[in-house]
Every structure is written in C-alpha cells, then in structure tokens.
Structure 1
Amino acid sequence: DELNSLAGIDASTVSAIVGWLKEGGMESVELSGSGDTVVAVGAAGAIEKLCGVHLHTFEWRGEGQARTTVRAYRAPRVGAAADPTRLGVVHEDDDVPRVPSFVADAVALVDGLTDLAPPLRRVGAPTRKHVQDRARASGASVAPAASQVPALAPGAQNVTVVMSRGGGALEVRFIPMCMDGSVATNAQEPCSEHPPALSYLQLNATARTGPHAGKPYGAQQAPMCAAGAKPGMPVTCTASIDAPYYELVNLTLQAFFGDGREAMTGPVSHLAHPGVNTPPITPRAITSLYGIPPSTRVTNKTTTQAVVEFEQQYYSPADLAQYLAEMGLPSPPPITVVGPNVASDPGGEANLDIQWILGMAPGADTTFWSIKANSSVEIDDILAWAEAMLALESPPSVNSISYGMTEGQVDHYQGSGYVLRSDVAFQKLALRGVTIIIACGDTGAGDLGAPPMSNPTCSVLGPDWPSQSPYVTAIGSTYVSPNSEPVCYEGVDCSDGPLGEVVVSLDHGLFWTSGGGFSNKQATAPYQKDVVDAYLSNKGALPPASMFNATGRAYPDAVAIGHNLETVLNGSVIPIDGTSASAPIFAGIITLLNDARANAGMPPLGFLNSWMYSVPPSAYRDTLVGNNRCGSYGWYPECCTAGFGAGVGWDAASGFGSPYFPVMLQEALKAGK
C-alpha cells in the first residue's frame, strides 16, 4: 500500500480499467500483487475487438532450425511473411493497442499481445546468454549459413573464434574455405568436394607480452572438423596451439592443399586480434583473489538469493550436486524452484548461474526462478519477473539476471512503455530492499550485432538493457592476468607480478567484449554524478561526443571475473564465459555481506548503488587495462573506432573494478548504523 501510494496509483482508475476489461468480455481479470498491473485473459476475438488490433499466428523455420510459432498483432509487411526476423515493425502506427480515453493517461504499457521477438540476434551474433554460451558450454561448433560467410582470398581460412578453454592451448575454430572460393561441406575431407582437398594446417603464434615477446612458434596439424547442422551446410574445424598462460599472442593460420598450394588467413577474422590463454577458474581461485576467507559460509537462515532464467533455460540438480562436491563446497538447503524446470534438459546459462552463485555463497537459501514464455521464441520478459517479485511478502534479497537486449529495441518489441514500466518495478523492488544484479552484455559499448535485437552500427553506441537502469547494479567482466597494468604492454615483462584483472575484450585476447557505456534514455543517476563527471573530464579517453549520450546513466558499476569459469553440464566439467558468469559471482558476494549483516542483527543491503558509490576506493580492486570498443556481427568480430577504456577510478569499461571483500565487509557492517 505504501508503494502504491508513492507511485500515485488511484483506486478509482484501477477500478475503471478492470470494469472496461470485464465489459469487453475478458474471461478473467485480476489485479497483480503490486497493485498497479491488471492481468486479463480472454479469447482472441474479444481481445481484437477490445484493443482494436488484429492478431495473427506465424510459423517460421530458419536454415538449420526447428519451426518457430509466434503470435503477433498486425500482419507482416508484404514480402516478409515467411521470416519474422525480417519483419522490422510488427505493428504500424494505425494498428497499436487502444485503450479508452478515460483511462489512457493512466496506462503505461499494454503487454502480452505479441510473443514475436525476432531470434536473429541469437542466430547471427553471439551474446552473453544465447547461442554463444551454449556453444561454449557444450563444446559444440556453430557455423553460420553459407550466405553469412564473408569473401576471403582463395584458400584463406575463415576463422570464427579463438578460444582459451582453460587448458594449455589456444583453440582456433574456422570454416574451411576451398581454393575455388567455395565453403567446405565435407567434414571428413574438407574441400574434397571442391578440389584440391585441404591437406594440413600450420598455426603460428608470436607473443606480444611476457618473457617470450617477439619469439614465433608454430604447430602443424590436420584439421579436426564437425559436420554442419544438415547436409550442404558449412562444416566447422578446429586447430590448436600450446600457449603459455597470460601471454598475449598474434596468430596466423596457414592452409596447405593437396596440390601443393597454400593460403594465409585473411584479415576478416578473429586473427586480426590477439589471443590469450588463461587457466580455468574455480570458486577457490576467486575467493583467494578477492580476499574472501576460504571457510566463509552462509549461516543465517534469513539470507536469501535467487537466479532468474528465461528462454527455457533449466538447471540440473545432479549437475549442481556434482559441482559442489568437486569444488569442495557444502550442499545448500533445498533449492526453491519457481516456474518450469526440466532437469533432464539443462542449459549452460542456467547451470552456470545457480552453480556460481552458490559457489560464492555456499549454504545460502537459493531460489531458481524460471519465467515461462508463451511460445518457443526467446523472450526475456523481465517485467513479468519483477511484477511477480512485488507480489511476494518476502522476495529473495539478492537476484542475479543474465538476460536483456539493446536498449533502443526494447519498447519496439516488448511494447511501448516497457522500459519505463520496468524501471518503475525495479524502483519499487529497490524501495523494498531487494538487490538486482544485471550482466551488462558481451558485445561491447555498442552492443554490436545483427539487427533487430542488437545494434548494427557504430554511429551511435547502443547501451544494453536493463543494465542501463539506475535501479539495478550492472556488472561487467574481467579475466585474470599479471598483465594488469598499462606498462605490461609497453615492453615490460610482468609475468612474475601478482595476478590482477583485465577487462574482457577482443583487443586484449578474448573472443568477446564486456559491455559498458551510457544510456540513451535514462539520465545519469545522482549517486554516480561526481565520478562520472570526473571520468568525462578526460576527453582524450572518450569516443567522439556524437557516439554516446554523456548525460545518460553510466554503467557498469563494477566487474567480476567472467572467463573460463568451471561449470558442470550433463556431468562434464567445462569452462563457460560471459558477463552472465560475472553477475552471479558478484551476487553471491553480496549475499555473503548480507549474511554478515543478518548475523549482526542488520537488514540486507538492498539497493546497492548508493552504497557502492559511497564506499572508499579500497573496497575495490581497480581495473586499469582494457576497453570495450569491439563486439561481434554475424559471428565475426566487429570493432568501432572507439569505445570506453579502463583507468584509475570509475570508468565505463570496468566501473569501480572488482570487489575486495575485507573492506567491503567492513563497509557493509557500517551501512545503516
């Protein structure tokens, strides 16, 4: 009631909306627990008449994909009916949901009339929680359709990704290209269908940092290839080379063919950027780095946390039990499951989330919250979760979310007003003492990627949603390295130095880039204005003013390790990457702080940002190296001329840095006294 009063909800207006829906033939009309959302269920015909729209059902099957069935209002444009990823605008200005004038001013959003969220972002460009995560988790190779393969010199191999998977080698994945320019489709003998066949490869490396800087080495090998999703699709091959940990290396891939000809990899590939090999990361490695005593456990029964999942991502209790056992961690209290969970079909994202939040906060009362979509299309209806949370008397205190999309597309595909309405819900949860941790994206400052779900250009950088909300805590990613100071890239050998962290980016050796930047919708939050103004005063480190909104909410707020996180999936221990790894790690650390406060008779920290921006710099491990100018487009690296760089203090690549637990704990126990 207090929240509704603060939000200015008028009971008579709500009553009028309920009456209009009932008179319109809705089968059920209910007021949500938050008090400001009305949920109506009715037949399609009644909804069409009530809202003045036309509902349609579409089916689409992309190349190599299962059929997708979606519901939307307004027929697609002529020529686009077969492919919802190409619809552009699902509805037009003359066919938007209508509400009567006597309640129009009170209605912020009409949601639920469409579940058409074009899946092209997932198909074409890797992001923090989509196909790339699943490919990393399973070790699967995901090749683009032949039409997506860029033109290269004859025989030059089309490298799609360079990966460090936690072992002693760097792995290069590529689509084999034949001398006549064709794409290989034969996994057993690539290019035999377009002779001459690919005979063997030479993968070469030259270190840029460390004790071996400037020294080249190489490995000759036969290609190891996997077939495409169906006959006639491109195959994906791998080559690997042993590489010392932490050394940034330049790579070249030479292909030798059966007729004696050879070809060097062209510049349109990940080989235009360096690679770096790093070790696997376990919870013990992170607790050691962040100053968390190894015996730290959650002991207070009131300390709660949750991971929130979308897109039919489920977790396996058996995998979780194996993970905790192999990491030497105690079993938690029984996991509370809200929503669907198909334990026999676990996803890399969901397993990662629940394993790592418990890896950092062992013993905590944990909820696995799964939001069911209306169809198989991947929709991140984060507002539905927030509304459900508001209906609870005691929602989980700390919540980790690794989903979202480009800010500029949210209202377009989720409904006009969705961003604003979500912020209202986040604000209410903040007032109730709930912490929301958001992964801030894997495609850099521009949220680069294929439209419509990502931003296809560098002309204006596209911030990630809901990272850009001032009412959530946005977390970026780093990887572990002794080369954590700028001098290490200027000829100084830092290999014997202490381990620090580097912002994850293509420019610094990884195959993806952590997100960060400025909102184009939300203003700079009051709690961050001083540090953001200080950052903006260093204009030499910023993109051109035309590329970003300097008055917007700036993010990330902090970072955590997000590379080579050991995770159990289907009984196998494999490394997974992403800001979607950093978010549950940071969330688990906040749970530890809440547990200490609970044991001291104090409430949870709740909304974090005002506190995070007020603690001393010693509460963080400042990240000094990295930038976020790059992303991926159609599985290929794409870089803007400028992004945001890491430096001393807060910055739009790493926030304040990663948490230093001893000081954070001291500050947490002071807060609110």
Structure 2
Amino acid sequence: MVSSFIRLLSTFGFSAFLLVHAAPAHLSEPSVKHAWQQIPADWEVHDAPAADHPITLKIGLKQSRIDELIDSLYQVSDPFHGRYGQHLSRLEVEELVAPHADTVDVVDSWLISHGVDPSSDVTRNGAGDWISIRLPLSKVESMLSTKYQIYKHKRTSEKIVRTLSYSLPRDLHDHIDIIQPTTMFDNMRKMHATSHVNKVDPSSTLSAAELAALPDVTGPNGQQIAASCNTTVTPTCLMQLYRTEGYVPKAANKGNRIGITGFLEQFINFVDLQTFFSKFRPDALGANVTVISVDGGLNDQTIPGVEANLDNQYTEGITFPTPNIFYSTPGTAPTINDSVTPPQRDEPYIDWLNFVLSHDDMPFSFTTSYGGDEQTFPKEFAVRACNLFAQLGARGASIMFSSGDGGVGAGTCETNDGTNRTIFQPVFPATCPFVTGVGATFQIAPEKGIFFSQGGFSVYFPRPSFQDKAVPPFLQKLGNTYKGLFTPGGRGVPDVSAQGEGFQVVVGGEVESVGGTSASSPTFAGIVTLLNDFRISNGKPPLGFLNPLLYSVGVPGFVDILLGNNPGCGTPGFNATEGWDAITGLGTPDFVKLKSLIG
C-alpha cells in the first residue's frame, strides 16, 4: 500500500512537497490522547531532560481489519469450528492489520507538518501498522503538545523520560492507537519474586542414597512421584507429576520449537545449563539453547541471570530434545543517556513482538515471565499489545504468561486514577484474553495453590466467551465477598497453573532454590510443547491459541486444585475451589489425558 503523498514525494522530492503542505489546514486543534491524573505510584519528578535528548517514537497506526483478524483467531482456535487448526500465514495476518490508506495519508501529512520526511525519516514494519522515528525531545514535545520530565523510581532509583499526558490533533485520534514512550511508566518487570531465592544449605541436603530411600508418593492419577518433590522440584519431579515421563519428542525435524523471552539484561549461561543437565537431566548433556538477538540484544556469559537460567533450564529439561530458542531483547531499567551512554531501548516489549511477527518461521509455543499491574499500562497500550498476541495466535503460536506473584494484589493495592481506592490488582499481559495465564501451586499429593499465585479479574478486558461456563460458578460461590474490590465481568486470571516453588536452578555454578509464577509458566509451556510434538508427529497442526480448547474439550485434562488461597490487599484473597478459580485456574495439566483429548 503506497499513499498518494508518498508517490508525490518520490516524484518531486520532500522539500517541494513540504513547501505546499507545511501546515495542513484539515488537521484540527490538539486534544488529549492519554493522561494520568497523578504521577504513577513509586515515581517522582527528578529533573528536566535536555532538549536534544533522543527519543525513538513508536507510533501504532489503527489496524484496518483487526476485528476480522480476531474473528479468524477464534475460528482457527475453536476445536468445534470447521477452520480449526487452519492457521494464517504472515502475509495473511499483515493484510488484516495493515492500516487503511486514509490513515497512512493523514498521519504522514501530520509528520510532514512537523518537518519529518515519511520517505526517509520513518521506519515501518511489514504490515505498516507500526512506525518508528528517531527525534530530539524538543521536536517530540512540539508534535505531542506536551512536556517531558525525568522521573525517578523511589525504591530502585531508576530514571526514565516520560510525560503525564500527550495530545494529538483530534483528526488523528481515530487513526493512531498509541504513541510510546509517552505515558507508560511500567517497564515489564519480571515476575520472579526474589524472596523465593535461597542458597541451598549443603548440610541440610539429603544424599542421593537418603533421597532414594524415601518412599514414593502416589499422585492424583496413581503415578509414583519421588517424595523429595514435595519441597525440591527438578525436571524429573515435573515429568512424574504431570505424566510426561517416558514421552520422547519426535517432531524436532518438523519445526516444533519453544521460544523463551529475555528482557532486562537477563542472560542464559551455557556452562550453568550443562551443569544443570549433569545434575538433573544427564541424557541432555551437550544440548544447548539457540540464542536469537533482537535489535542487538546480548547474551553476556559473565552475568548469569536467575530468571533466564530458570526459564531455559526447565523448558529444555522438560522438552529435550526439542529445540529451545532464547530471544534476547535489549533494554534494562531505563537510564538517561549522556554523551558516553548509548541510546537505551527501555520499552523492548513491542520490539520483540514485531520482530517475531516479521518472520515466516517461528516457534509454536512461547513463555514469558514478565509483566506488571494492569493499571500501570495505559489501556490503549494494553489493547494494542494484546492484539499483537492475537496475531501470534492466529499464526499458530501458543503464548504463556506468568500470572504474577502478588496474590490478589501487590504493593499498596490503590488505584492510580486519583481516587486512591483499594482494589485487587491483576497483572498484564496475563489479563490479555489471547494469552494463557499460568498461576502457581506447591507440594504434591495433593497440590495446593500457593499464596503468591496472582489471580483475579481484568479491568481493561471483559470476560471472553470461552470463560462463560467456567467463571460464573466461581463468582456465584463468592457471592458479595470482596464486592467493589474487583470487576466480576472482567477476564479471569489465571487460566491454568503448575508447580511454582522450590525449583532447583543452577546460577553461577551453584544450585539455588527458586520460586514464582515465573517457574510455572515455562513448566506449562514445556508441556504444551510436548503436546504440539504429539500433534505434529501425527500430521496435525500445532495447537495455536489455547484458551478456547482448554475451556472446552481440555477441561478433563486438568487436575482440579481444591486447596490454597492468595492473600493480598488486606484480605485472605480468593480460595481454590472445585472448577475454575482465581488462584489456580482450571488446575494443573495431566499430559496423558490432554494428549488423548487433543489427539
């Protein structure tokens, strides 16, 4: 799609066009696109940035046929629909999300009015629905009728350049979904709870002979599980508990892979991976993870990351010999650039999504252990990012996200709309209906929902149709308890759960015990990868977007968790109960049963 003014630019040049169109008369006066009523919690104004501070604006243009894309997503993901499994190609998805020619024209006309050449200054993705421009701060402030400040985080001392509001000509509001970096202060914090990391005390560790002498525990389906798994989780524990033991993947040469995301300078250490294999998965010794750099992302072997090691050691530990892909995307806790500090990509999330979507070939399952309180993301951003997950799902990918480690709400549990009301805080992106949110359990025979497993109901996203049967019974049992603290008509989280405490992870050559829903998500994603392997090796397409399947034919494939609660916000939180609940979702997976259900 080539707009009329781009054709004119190519014929007569930017300077000639700018003379005629320097101030388009049809653009209306600026009006606020998004604003916070107050400075987001934990941030404070630190200083004023320099006028020449470089900003890379990412502008999300209105996607012309996004409703058709979402309709297609549900059709190819519904096991009862005739199109089930007929996933879309990259080009088919790009055609559905490409902006209308009118949108391209009016946005480019606005850029030209500010001296930006759309033919040379602007970078566009394949679909043309995202554009990027590198500009000095003074130019950005003029374009967005705003004023940026340097904000400092009160606890971490991190600094970011943001604004509390920005404006666009009213005529552009229907053509631009979002512009960043502007008002999004959250930087996709990792879900891992550092309070759950403890060095293993050798004096308290049982020897191999002592462990072997412990009597096995009988699992929910009669399987035998090592008693040590009650407190010390290894790949063998997970394979026994979720009944993948003995399954040998066969579809590695048919494209089945799992993708693991890495942000905030979390790097997978190869030596630690081999040490992990030697201790907990000896048959995988010599296998490795393929690292893909997104926009210059590194994988520094001198800085082993707890999160990255956890994710990769357990996805590989469960799925070996299936190929594992680790995506390293640059961007850390944001810094204020100076003459010696290179430009910092402090919002790497959209970069990663656009990178993956730009390729024809990609993994069939992904796990991500990053997110933040939903309210800290502007709704426009959350919706637009959620639609990117819809694009991934339509192309046949299953996307897992940690549900969070804050029970029913971390921090103060206060709203950030100026009213300071107490509400439960769900975590985004787990609240996006197009991803599968994974909560956490602990112990075995029986498994229980663990206290930190974050769950609840979205404020931004209404309950999707696939939850219409599962969620209302939970709400009926709850009655008026916590009335006003959550949105009962919102999308419920989590969808499923898996073990999330006591994971044995090798970091810097030493074994650490790690917990969090950041352990649960890669665990569940590993099992989904094996389910994909089973389907692909039998000539069937991968599962793709999971939720419509999980909440229908998949329900009998889960062990219902009946114990546990997730306190927070001064309350005991939600209780695990029969059926779906807002701490463990549908329950934990039984690979054998799920394999028969999806066969």
Contact 1:166–1:575 (CA<8 Å) still a contact in 2?
no
| 3-state SS of paired residue (1:110) | strand
Q: 2: distance between equivalents of 1:280 and 1:455?
A: 44
Aligned residue number for residue 448 of structure 2:
502
- 1:658 equivalent in alignment to 2:597: no
Q: 1: distance between equivalents of 2:178 and 2:520?
A: 32
| 3-state SS of paired residue (1:372) | coil
Q: 1: distance between equivalents of 2:127 and 2:202?
A: 45
Deviations 1:227-268 (A, max 9, x none): xxxxxxxxxxxxxxxxxx99xxxxxxxxxxxxxxxxxxxxxx
Label 1:5 to 1:661 Cα distance change in 2 as closer, same or farther (>3 A): same
Deviations 1:395-453 (A, max 9, x none): 22111111111111211xxxx61111112111122111111100001111223457799
What runs of 5+ residues in structure 2 fail to find an aligned partner? 1-90, 206-215, 218-227, 336-344
Aligned residue number for residue 20 of structure 2:
none
Label 1:458 to 1:560 Cα distance change in 2 as closer, same or farther (>3 A): farther
Label 1:30 to 1:312 Cα distance change in 2 as closer, same or farther (>3 A): same
Which range is displaced more, 353-362 or 321-330? 321-330
Aligned residue number for residue 18 of structure 1:
108
User: How big is the shift at 1:644?
Assistant: 1.4
Aligned residue number for residue 233 of structure 1:
none
- 1:294 equivalent in alignment to 2:246: yes
Residue correspondences, number: 472
User: How big is the shift at 1:292?
Assistant: 1.1
Label 1:299 to 1:538 Cα distance change in 2 as closer, same or farther (>3 A): same
Contact 2:181–2:347 (CA<8 Å) still a contact in 1?
no
Q: 2: distance between equivalents of 1:463 and 1:472?
A: 14
- 1:462 equivalent in alignment to 2:555: no
2:511 corresponds, among 558, 573, 577, to 573
2:577 corresponds, among 623, 635, 647, to 647
Label 1:590 to 1:471 Cα distance change in 2 as closer, same or farther (>3 A): same
2:392 corresponds, among 429, 440, 445, to 429
Aligned residue number for residue 252 of structure 1:
none
Aligned residue number for residue 100 of structure 1:
169
Contact 1:320–1:568 (CA<8 Å) still a contact in 2?
yes
User: How big is the shift at 1:525?
Assistant: 0.9
Deviations 1:294-341 (A, max 9, x none): 353354220111111222211211111221222224244651322222
Deviations 1:16-54 (A, max 9, x none): 323433553447201113431111112223222222233
2:437 corresponds, among 460, 466, 474, to 474
Deviations 1:43-81 (A, max 9, x none): 2232222222334446x5968x6x6443234xxxxxxxx
Contact 2:229–2:443 (CA<8 Å) still a contact in 1?
no
Q: 2: distance between equivalents of 1:456 and 1:5?
A: 42
Contact 2:196–2:516 (CA<8 Å) still a contact in 1?
no
Q: 1: distance between equivalents of 2:553 and 2:300?
A: 42
- 1:323 equivalent in alignment to 2:290: no
Q: 2: distance between equivalents of 1:368 and 1:599?
A: 23
| 3-state SS of paired residue (2:484) | helix
More helix by share: 2
Alignment of 1:242-641 (within 5 A): 278-297=230-249, 299-301=251-253, 302-327=255-280, 328-330=282-284, 331-332=286-287, 335-338=290-293, 339-373=297-331, 376=334, 381-411=348-378, 417-449=380-412, 459-481=422-444, 499-505=445-451, 513-539=452-478, 543-630=481-568, 640-641=570-571
Task: Report the AA paired with residue 372 of structure 1.
Answer: P
User: How big is the shift at 1:136?
Assistant: 4.3
Q: 2: distance between equivalents of 1:456 and 1:500?
A: 42
Q: 2: distance between equivalents of 1:297 and 1:461?
A: 41
Label 1:354 to 1:40 Cα distance change in 2 as closer, same or farther (>3 A): same
Task: Report the AA paired with residue 122 of structure 2.
Answer: V
What runs of 5+ residues in structure 1 fail to find an aligned partner? 74-90, 140-163, 170-244, 247-275, 482-498, 506-512, 631-638
Q: 1: distance between equivalents of 2:551 and 2:418?
A: 29
Please, what is the CA RMSD of the aligned residues? 3.3
Alignment of 1:22-171 (within 5 A): 22-26=112-116, 28-57=121-150, 68-73=158-163, 91=164, 96-113=165-182, 117=186, 128-129=191-192, 132-133=193-194, 136-137=196-197, 139=199, 168=204
Deviations 1:632-654 (A, max 9, x none): xxxxxxx5334211111211111
Contact 1:137–1:569 (CA<8 Å) still a contact in 2?
no
Q: 1: distance between equivalents of 2:359 and 2:540?
A: 21
User: How big is the shift at 1:113?
Assistant: 4.2
| 3-state SS of paired residue (1:430) | helix
Label 1:379 to 1:667 Cα distance change in 2 as closer, same or farther (>3 A): farther
| 3-state SS of paired residue (1:291) | coil
| 3-state SS of paired residue (2:481) | coil
Q: 2: distance between equivalents of 1:303 and 1:648?
A: 34
Contact 2:187–2:346 (CA<8 Å) still a contact in 1?
no
Task: Report the AA paired with residue 369 of structure 1.
Answer: Y
User: How big is the shift at 1:351?
Assistant: 0.9
Label 1:347 to 1:281 Cα distance change in 2 as closer, same or farther (>3 A): same
Aligned residue number for residue 9 of structure 1:
99
User: How big is the shift at 1:375?
Assistant: 5.5
**TM-score normalized with structure 2 length:** 0.72
Q: 1: distance between equivalents of 2:419 and 2:265?
A: 27
Task: Report the AA paired with residue 403 of structure 2.
Answer: C
Contact 2:435–2:545 (CA<8 Å) still a contact in 1?
yes
| 3-state SS of paired residue (2:179) | coil
Label 1:298 to 1:35 Cα distance change in 2 as closer, same or farther (>3 A): farther
Q: 1: distance between equivalents of 2:446 and 2:347?
A: 34
Which range is displaced more, 614-623 or 431-440? 614-623
Contact 1:445–1:629 (CA<8 Å) still a contact in 2?
yes
**TM-score normalized with structure 1 length:** 0.64
Q: 2: distance between equivalents of 1:98 and 1:167?
A: 61
User: How big is the shift at 1:460?
Assistant: 1.9
| 3-state SS of paired residue (2:180) | coil
Contact 2:262–2:328 (CA<8 Å) still a contact in 1?
yes
**Identity over the aligned pairs, expressed in percent?**
27
Contact 1:399–1:587 (CA<8 Å) still a contact in 2?
yes
Q: Which has the higher contact order (CA 8 A, sep 6+)?
A: 2
